[in-house]
């Protein structure tokens, strides 16, 4: 038997009081008032309502070591990224590795692998594959249905995947940026219960009126908190918090816990905040996660105050997994899986041969998944279209990492590099190698560094070459989280020294191949218009 005393914040009864928790056999056996308790607050643990663990560049066991420091006890995790690389084996890897640590990972079955037919992925999950995964006890929901055109057009395969979840009583997550009105109504009526892609209050409110729950996303890449947080006051029972993608340098500093004091400062009710940070995801996804009630699993956190959310202790199943600034986890040795064909590329491979001076240029926006497009007349010399570095128009290319093929080449604005290139095999959703740089020579050198390590992020300029290897699926490291965070930040600093003014250059480059988010992106097959859903002539 164990006990913990403090000021208890009960998210279900919506009350706070001085009390004592008694823990027996990993569960809360009793909660009773007490006097002379220490000045500390006992609260439900934080739950990330939608995240791709792979985006931390860490395997689940290493992600957990960082997350529990911030009071995270559970995640609703979509293994979409590793599934695009390694298929069902990748999903199995995430489940297997996650089981080796106490943090509660609740994985979904990826619904769209590959995400589109306009890119080369490493695997496919068809209707039968998804149905097989949905039967597993370790799979708790159908992950984000990003093929919203398939839903609206009654695509039989899409509807069959949704039905495989519905007949088992498992939720279906949404992914429908910009969808409103009758289209949002039909999307929701297919059985899709959540959305984390809303960029505006108007869009989110429209989906709420169709019966969907909204996850307010505040991650490393997409940040929709400011646009959506006012909905917490109007729809307090229908809002959740999620990060979607949390890069290692950000995860070092905080997770969902950061949103509690931030929202309190805006004047919102603490219990409404905890409903979004803990209660609703637990209830919606039917998670075996305690909410500070007798008989619940003893999952909770001890903080110095809700206003600071400085986490002193994190308890999972009655065990203090983080206490006295120490994570009390077992050591985990991770096996390595990958799907990578390494080959050498040459500078000449990145020449864009065309007589068309008018080119559609990707306009990147710092801290945003969405891009804009701009028609620009670029110089043409000897049948080759050239970049315009003086106006910050650089070359961008995607190189197939699954089979040898010619790179797809285009142009991009706002990366700011003056001399050099950066490359990454973290390139949503298919995770081919994406590279941005000032010359074809730099492009080839940066890509070849990633090829040599069968995955990673790299930066080259002058004679200097730097790389963070990601040997697991080409998207994750099995090194300690703190080490990966340091190396990631070091390469980000190098890219800024090369002239980039972006807050997180490697984060932004990883989304320039994300075709399902408008408006102009690039895959290994070419420049792609995400609004028209077709390739662009170059």
Calpha distance 366→496 (Å, rounded): 13
Of 38 and 516, the one with more pLDDT: 38
pLDDT band at 334 (very low <50, low <70, confident <90, very high): confident
Confidence check: pLDDT of 532 > 90: no
Q: What does the mean pLDDT of the chain come to?
A: 96
Contact between residue 280 and residue 239 where contact means Cβ atoms under 8 Å apart: yes
Q: Find the radius of gyration of the CA atoms of the chain.
A: 23
Give the three-state DSSP class for 175: coil
C-alpha dist (Å) from residue 343 to 147, 202, 373, 400, 449: 32, 48, 32, 10, 11
pLDDT at 331: 87
* Domain annotation for the chain: domains and CATH numbers: 45-288 (3.20.20.140), 347-535 (no CATH)
pLDDT at 355: 86
Calpha distance 181→186 (Å, rounded): 9
Strands (E), 52-159: 72-77, 104-109, 139-145
Confidence check: pLDDT of 395 > 90: yes
DSSP state of 335: P
Calpha distance 15→210 (Å, rounded): 31
Mean pLDDT over residues 435-452, rounded?
A: 98
Give the three-state DSSP class for 171: coil
Angle between helices 80-98 and 60-67 (to 10 degrees): 80
Q: 1, exposed or middle or buried, with CB in 10 Å at 0-12, 13-18, 19+?
A: exposed
- Closest among 464, 456, 516, 463 to 117, alpha carbons compared: 516
pLDDT band at 367 (very low <50, low <70, confident <90, very high): confident
C-alpha dist (Å) from residue 52 to 252, 403, 516: 16, 25, 16
Confidence check: pLDDT of 15 > 90: yes
pLDDT, tens only, 45-102: 999 999 999 999 999 999 999 999 999 999 999 999 999 999 999 999 999 999 999 9
pLDDT at 369: 85
Q: What percent of the chain has pLDDT over 70?
A: 100
Residue 269, token pair as written in the block: 């009710």
Measured over the CA atoms of residue 373, residue 379, residue 385 and residue 391, the dihedral's sign is negative
Q: What percent of the chain has pLDDT over 90?
A: 93
pLDDT band at 221 (very low <50, low <70, confident <90, very high): confident
- Closest among 298, 325, 337, 310 to 470, alpha carbons compared: 337
| DSSP percent split of the chain into helix, strand, coil, nearest 5 | 30, 30, 40
Q: How crowded is the C-beta side of 97, counted as CA atoms within 13 Å?
A: 28
Measured over the CA atoms of residue 340, residue 341, residue 347 and residue 352, the dihedral's sign is negative
């Amino acid at each position: 038997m164990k006990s913990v005393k403090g000021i208890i914040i009960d998210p279900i009864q919506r009350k706070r009081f001085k009390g004592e928790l008694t823990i027996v056999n990993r569960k809360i056996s009793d909660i009773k008032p007490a006097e002379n308790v220490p000045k500390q607050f006992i609260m439900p643990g934080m739950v990330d309502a939608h995240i791709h663990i792979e985006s931390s560049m860490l395997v689940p066991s290493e992600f957990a070591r960082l997350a529990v420091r911030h009071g995270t006890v559970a995640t609703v995790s979509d293994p979409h990224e590793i599934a695009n690389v390694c298929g069902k084996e990748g999903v199995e890897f995430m489940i297997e590795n996650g089981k080796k640590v106490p943090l509660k990972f609740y994985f979904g079955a990826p619904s769209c692998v590959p995400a589109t037919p306009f890119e080369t992925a490493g695997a496919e999950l068809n209707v039968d594959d998804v149905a097989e995964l949905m039967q597993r006890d370790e799979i708790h929901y159908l992950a984000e249905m990003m093929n919203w055109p398939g839903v609206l057009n009654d695509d039989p395969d899409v509807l069959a995947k949704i039905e495989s979840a519905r007949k088992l009583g498992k939720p279906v997550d949404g992914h429908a940026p910009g969808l409103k009105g009758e289209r949002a109504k039909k999307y929701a009526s297919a059985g899709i219960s959540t959305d984390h892609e809303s960029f505006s209050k108007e869009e989110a409110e429209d989906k709420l009126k169709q019966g969907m729950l909204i996850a307010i996303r505040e991650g490393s890449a997409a940040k929709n908190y400011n646009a959506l947080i006012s909905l917490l006051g109007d729809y307090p029972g229908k809002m959740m918090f999620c990060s979607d993608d949390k890069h290692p340098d950000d995860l070092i500093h905080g997770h969902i816990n950061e949103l509690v004091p931030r929202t309190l400062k805006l004047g919102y009710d603490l219990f409404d905040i905890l409903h979004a940070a803990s209660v609703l995801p637990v209830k919606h996804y039917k998670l075996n996660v305690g909410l500070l009630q007798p008989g619940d699993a003893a999952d909770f956190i001890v903080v110095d105050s809700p206003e600071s959310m400085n986490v002193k202790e994190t308890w999972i199943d009655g065990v203090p997994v983080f206490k006295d600034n120490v994570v009390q986890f077992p050591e985990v040795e991770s096996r390595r899986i990958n799907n990578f064909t390494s080959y050498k590329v040459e500078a000449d491979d990145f020449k864009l041969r065309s007589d068309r001076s008018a080119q559609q240029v990707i306009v990147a926006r710092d801290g945003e998944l969405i891009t804009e497009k701009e028609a620009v007349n670029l110089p043409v010399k000897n049948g080759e279209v050239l970049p315009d570095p003086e106006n910050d128009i650089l070359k961008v290319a995607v190189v197939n990492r699954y089979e040898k093929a010619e790179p797809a080449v285009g142009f991009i604005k706002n990366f700011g590099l003056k001399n050099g290139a950066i490359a990454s095999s973290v390139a949503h959703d298919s995770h081919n190698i994406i590279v941005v740089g000032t010359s074809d020579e730099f492009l080839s050198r940066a890509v070849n560094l990633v090829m040599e390590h069968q995955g990673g992020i790299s930066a080259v300029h002058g004679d200097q070459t730097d790389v963070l290897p990601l040997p697991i699926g080409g998207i994750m490291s099995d090194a300690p989280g703190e080490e990966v965070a340091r190396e990631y930040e070091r390469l980000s600093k190098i890219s800024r020294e090369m002239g980039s003014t972006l807050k997180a250059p490697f984060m932004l480059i990883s989304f320039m191949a994300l075709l399902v988010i408008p408006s102009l992106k690039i895959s290994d097959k070419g420049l792609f218009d995400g609004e028209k859903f077709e390739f662009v002539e170059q």
